[in-house]
Amino acid sequence: MPPGKRPLREIIYTDLRKQIRSGRLLPGLRLIESSLAENLKVSRTIIREVMKQLELEGWVKIIPYKGAEVSRFSLDAIRELYCIQAALEGLAAGLATPKISRKEIRELRRVQKRLCKSLREDATQWQALNIQFHQFFLDRCGNERLQNLIKTHHDQFARYWRIILSIPGQREKNTEAHEKILGALEKGDSFQVRLNMERHIQTVAQKLIEFLAENAFLI
């Protein structure tokens, strides 16, 4: 439906959900009903309805007498989420390996080079390339159910990427991990590609958990 014909409530809901998923609205951020209504030029009733919908889907937590905030996970929940994601993406990477041509490997190598060059540039640009690197394997794994599982699950923790990339040296470490994955891919070693992908995601999870533990206000 064209934006001009979509209900205002739906437009606001979609935009807020997108901002939470993308990490623009960080976990724990207060969502003040009156401020949102004023900024978006809508009634507080519409904002209240949107918050209730987002709460039902787990994106927002409404605290009695305090209002709404972007949902956040416990450290244990984050650990569990990344453990599952590591297993799923590792499996996808392993399945994709024998299906990837030499030409496609050169294509991924170009993505990796761009990642290396963008280490000192805007985090959003680096993350776009990072997503492209991971998506490369998902698109070629040949298992639609697995792809859907990964996409659904990814939405739950993608909101933390801005925090992850704010950790000093993390982009460099992620790029090094990609290099190991790519090296195994160039050798056609499905098992090592899978293992390296799993280790990469698990390592990121551990760094995130350590950082959040040291900055308790974020959890």
Q: Rounded CA gap, 139 and 92, in Å?
A: 9
The size of the chain, in residues, is: 219
Q: Which two tokens stand for residue 179?
A: 């290099």
Q: Which domains does the chain have, with CATH numbers?
A: 3-70 (1.10.10.10), 75-218 (1.20.120.530)
pLDDT tens digit sequence for 113-169: 999 999 988 888 899 999 999 999 999 999 999 999 998 877 777 778 888 988 999
Nearest to 143 by CA among 103, 88, 181, 191: 88
pLDDT at 218: 55
- Identify the sign of the CA torsion 192, 198, 202, 204: positive
pLDDT at 25: 87
Indicate whether 2 pLDDT > 60. Answer: no
pLDDT tens digit sequence for 129-143: 999 999 999 999 999
Cβ distance 93 to 204 under 8 Å? no
Q: Rounded CA gap, 29 and 217, in Å?
A: 10
Indicate whether 20 pLDDT > 60. Answer: yes
Mean pLDDT of the chain: 90
Backbone angles phi, psi at 6, to 5 degrees: -80, 145
Q: Rounded CA gap, 45 and 2, in Å?
A: 24
Indicate whether 196 pLDDT > 80. Answer: yes
Q: Which two tokens stand for residue 165?
A: 């990339």
Q: Rounded CA gap, 190 and 188, in Å?
A: 6
- pLDDT, mean of residues 78-101: 96
pLDDT tens digit sequence for 61-79: 999 888 899 988 889 988 9
pLDDT at 4: 56
Q: Is residue 60 classed as helix, strand or coil in its secondary structure?
A: strand
Q: How many Cβ atoms from other residues are within 10 Å of residue 71's Cβ?
A: 18
Highest mean pLDDT among 19-23, 38-42, 49-53: 49-53
